């Protein structure tokens, strides 16, 4: 149940970002699949390869697919090194991805340090406020 809730929340957030418009019109025109449907370029950063993180990434992909969102993913693993994580995030900014999916606290912090312009969706973060990712946070039980 929780997994489906998180997947639905991720899908809703990304759909909202798509509606708000990521990137400029010229970039959007270039990012279409063979059917002419827009493709969202997503940089995926993960601190290490781990079953639970891999499942979170797979859930994110499934939620976008369920939401009929066409996406191209660039998965980068930092091998447990914060310097690698920062380099990955900086490269995503240089590549002008439409969205960064940060799958861990260190990955999310690196993405946040790298950009204020590219939307960041993060998961696998225990406490976003304590981790300096958010000033305020309501958990599902408080809503």
> Is this structure's pTM higher than 0.85?
no
The answer for residues whose C-beta is within 8 angstroms of residue 90's C-beta and 6 or more apart is 114
The answer for residues whose C-beta is within 8 angstroms of residue 5's C-beta and 6 or more apart is 140
Distance between CA atoms of residues 94 and 28, nearest Å: 17
| Residue indicated by tokens 């930092």 | 78
The tens place of each residue's pLDDT in the chain, 143 residues long, gives: 445 444 444 544 554 444 444 544 444 444 665 666 789 999 999 999 999 999 999 999 999 999 999 999 999 999 999 999 999 999 999 999 999 999 999 999 999 999 999 999 988 887 776 667 776 777 656 55
pLDDT at 142: 59
pLDDT at 27: 47
Domain ranges of the chain: 2-7+40-134
CATH 3.40.50.2300 fits 2-7+40-134, yes or no: yes
**Cα–Cα nearest to 133, from 117, 122, 119:** 122
């Amino acid at each position: 149940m929780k997994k489906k809730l998180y997947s639905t929340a991720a899908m809703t957030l990304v759909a909202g970002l798509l509606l708000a418009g990521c990137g400029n019109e010229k970039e959007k025109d270039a990012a279409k699949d063979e059917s002419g449907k827009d493709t969202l370029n997503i940089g995926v950063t993960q601190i290490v390869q781990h079953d639970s993180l891999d499942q979170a990434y797979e859930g994110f992909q499934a939620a976008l697919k369920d939401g009929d969102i066409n996406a191209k993913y660039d998965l980068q693993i930092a091998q447990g090194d914060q310097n690698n994580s920062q380099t990955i995030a900086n490269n995503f900014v240089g590549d002008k991805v439409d969205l960064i999916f940060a799958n861990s606290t260190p990955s999310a912090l690196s993405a946040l340090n790298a950009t204020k312009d590219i939307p960041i969706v993060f998961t696998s973060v225990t406490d976003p406020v304590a981790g300096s990712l958010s000033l305020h946070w309501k958990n599902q039980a408080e809503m």
